[in-house]
Chain A
Amino acid sequence: MQTTKSPYRQGIAAGLPFILILAPFGMLFGVVAAEAGLNIFEALVMSALVVAGAAQFTALQLLSEHVPTLIVIVAALTVNLRLAMYSAALTPYLGSASLPVRVAVAYCVVDQTYACSVAAYEQNRHWTLRDRLAFYFGVATPVMPNWLAFTGLGALVGEAIPPGLALDFAIPITFIALAVPMMRTGAHRVAALTAVVASLMLTWLPYSLGVIVAGMIGMVVGAEVERRTEMP
């Protein structure tokens, strides 16, 4: 596919549609954070430092259940383990950049920058490192600032919403909406189903540890199913 647009502008064009997902999702995070008692500053700092919706929702949910701090951190980081996979997938394309640039690349690793960039790199194998970086930060340009902006807007809205709107259930609904479309293969579905059953059976474990243990079990089972289905 030949095009006259610069890689940076192609990146922006690839990132722009994600605002449609980020905007309501970021706002929802702001609202839920406000309901959980975070002020707008705390919600913004969390979005700026963590930059990962699912982990932020996980942390909020477990914090409001008064789960011990260490467990909250471990559970939310487990949700974010996929970022390490993205980092690994980007390394062959961007790994030769200078250290400060790689720090900036790492900060911007999110679902959207990873998915768009790896797809574009496979299509444009002639791109130089400079082109690849331009595309990558092009995707990040509409994505990263809007995550912050809509968190802030949500926090403002949330402070105005009266309590008692059953917002406790906003997180489960959001997670279902996020997780179900991820079930692309049988191995994904087996991993999820195993994790659900294990989690329901392990609620007796203290400190919500059952969530982490069940997640690990689901992860191992999913990987094993993939390994077996790939074997000739």
Chain B
Amino acid sequence: MIDKFPLWAVIVALGAGSFLLRFVFIGWVGNRSLPAWLLRHLRYTAVAVLPALIAPLVLWPPATDGAIDAPRLASALAATVVAWITRSVIGAVLAGASVLYLGLWLAG
């Protein structure tokens, strides 16, 4: 369970911070051009942070107290393969969920 104080602190701070990120250029910087190196780094934030967040969760899931779990590993693999081949977000989620439940059912 999530406690109420950290939850609301995160909601408000994340909301304000996200707005500032959206506003920073269109609101403040205006038409001044931006250094290329900055834009180049911003392009790689999501492709780097999301995998960094996922990797430990896949290999050592908190739900199994960090033990490597075959159904979860297979599920992540299925989602990756389907997302890679089809580029379909929904398809990948469905593939991952199906393999997860199949695996959990097989594992008893």
**Interface set of A (CB-CB < 8 Å, partner B):** 20-21, 24-25, 28, 36-38, 42, 45-46, 49-52, 54-56, 58-61, 63-65, 69, 72-73, 75-88, 90-92, 94-96, 99, 102-103, 105-107, 109, 166, 168-183, 187-188, 191-196, 198-200, 203, 210-212, 214-223, 226-227
Q: Which chain B positions have C-beta within 8 A of A58?
A: 49, 53
In-complex Cβ contact of B87 among A36, A176, A181, A191 (8 A): A181
Q: Are B10 and A38 in contact (CB under 8 A)?
A: no
Q: How far is the CA of A81 from the CA of B39 in the complex (A)?
A: 10
Contact in complex: B24, A87 (CB < 8 Å): yes
- Residues of B23-54 contacting chain A, CB below 8 A: 23-27, 29-31, 34, 37, 39-54
- Interface of B (DSSP majority class): helix
Query: 10 nearest interchain CB pairs?
Result: A49-B15, A218-B48, A222-B44, A177-B92, A180-B83, A215-B49, A173-B96, A85-B42, A214-B52, A199-B52
A72 x B10 contact (CB < 8 A): yes
Q: Which of B53, B76, B97 has the most CB of A within 10 A?
A: B53
User: Is B7 an interface residue, CB under 8 A from the partner?
Assistant: yes
Residues A75 and B45 in contact, CB atoms below 8 Å apart? no
Q: Which of A42, A78, A91, A183 contacts B29 (CB 8 A)?
A: A91
Shortest A226–chain B CB gap in Å is: 6
